[in-house]
Amino acid sequence: MCIVNNTTDLRTFRYAVHIPTFILGLIINLAALWILCTRLKKLIESTIYMINLIFSDIFLLFSLPFKIHADQMNGGEWYLGEMFCQFVESLYFVNTYGTILLITLISLDRYIAIKHPFLAQTLRSPKKAVIACTVMWVCIWSASIPNYTQNENNQTMNKCFAKFDAFWESGAIPLSMEVIFLISAVTVSFCSIQIIRTLRRLGEDSDGMNVRLSMNIITSNLVTFLSCFTPYHIAMLLYLLAKQYCWKEYLGHLRGFLQITQCLAIVNCCLDGMYYYLVIKEFWKSKITRRNNLMA
């Protein structure tokens, strides 16, 4: 396995990814939030999920400067406080899985709306979208509680984003994360494929441009999701197996692989901008179409 394993090279790679991701991601997400809050007056299901996804990305981006700060310490003291360290770590991991679950909810919402329009009248509403997002946030933030309790007696609290021995030794939490991702990946893939098939069948009887735009949204969402998160979860599973079965000769390479794929997962905060653009474009096209139909 030929993976960058030098500590300095890995740190340089993380800087090269994290700094542009932070700047570009913040610009994209704040611009999308401004458009949604000022231009789209009516909140529907898709915009509610999208606003939650934007906030998830912003919170994740907020943790990046502190992760960079922790990298710069190079084994030195963490001067920002134990509780703040735990909060930033939780922010990083909670919003990673917040993004995964929100993309899953978006895919399910679109699947129900397009594939089962009559059932959608019962299952879909802005209120139910708010409830689904609230339940999701409560669940993932509750799952971060062990991060505040398992390190109470840890003697290495001067380090941040570094003390994960208990995380890997038990294996329960990383396996839970793997299961969440696997279920989400299967759900997003199934919903996306079914939606694309349905749109293709409807293409001949509908506005071709709107159908192509909708298919581009679904495809970009699926490709972004799988390309960003699949390598990270493969790396995490391999590293967990190496830790559990004491494959010490592979740990160094797998640790490097894990950190590289973790950086690539964070790039999702920028790539979500493509999804925001296509959704907003679709909204405006449908709005213009409705206005023209009324004037005709």
Which pLDDT tens digit goes with each residue over 94-122?
899 999 999 999 999 989 988 888 888 88
Residue 252: inside a domain? yes
Phi–psi pair at 155, nearest 5 degrees: -90, 0
Q: What is the DSSP letter of 75?
A: T
**How much is the average pLDDT of 29-51?**
84
Total structural domains in the chain? 1
122-133 pLDDT per residue, tens: 888 999 999 999
In 3D space, the residue among 50, 48, 46 whose CA is nearest the CA of residue 120 turns out to be 46
Q: Residue 294 domain-assigned?
A: no
Asked if the structure places residue 52 within a domain, the reply is: yes
Containing domain of residue 80, as a range? 7-153+162-287
Q: Tell me, yes or no, whether 13 lies in a domain.
A: yes
Integer CA distances (angstroms), 7 to 31, 74, 187, in order:
36, 10, 37
CATH code at 195? 1.20.1070.10
pLDDT above 60: residue 150 = yes
Tell me, yes or no, whether 2 lies in a domain. no
Question: What is the average pLDDT value for the chain, to the nearest integer?
Answer: 81
The whole-number pLDDT of residue 57 equals 92
82/100 Cα distance (integer angstroms): 28
Domain membership of residue 44 (yes or no) is: yes
Report the range out of 5-9, 54-58, 66-70 with the highest average pLDDT.
54-58
Quick one: three-class SS letters along 91-143? HHHHHHHHHHHHHHHHHHHHHHHHHCHHHHHHHCCHHHHHHHHHHHHHHHHHC
Top pLDDT among 293 and 96 is at 96
Q: How confident is the model at residue 34 (pLDDT cuts 50, 70, 90)?
A: confident
> Per-residue pLDDT tens for 258-272?
989 999 999 998 888
Say if residues 209 and 267 touch (Cβ distance below 8 Å): no
In the predicted model, is pLDDT for residue 292 greater than 60? no
Q: Look at residue 105 in the predicted model and tell me its pLDDT.
A: 93
Q: Which of 49-53, 107-111, 205-209, 243-247 has the lowest mean pLDDT?
A: 205-209
Whether 295 is covered by a domain: the verdict is no
Residue 1 lies in a domain: no
Q: Are 95 and 62 in contact (CB under 8 A)?
A: no
pLDDT greater at residue 75 or residue 42: 42
Q: Give the pLDDT band (50/70/90) at residue 6.
A: low
Q: Is the pTM of this model over 0.75?
A: yes
Of residues 198 and 152, which shows the higher confidence score? 198
Question: Residue 185 pLDDT > 90, yes or no?
Answer: yes
Which of these ranges, 41-45, 166-170, 228-232, has the smallest mean pLDDT? 166-170
Token pair for 27:
């610009």
**One-letter amino acid for residue 50 of the chain:** M
Q: What is the mean pLDDT of residues 162-171?
A: 68
pLDDT given at position 137: 95
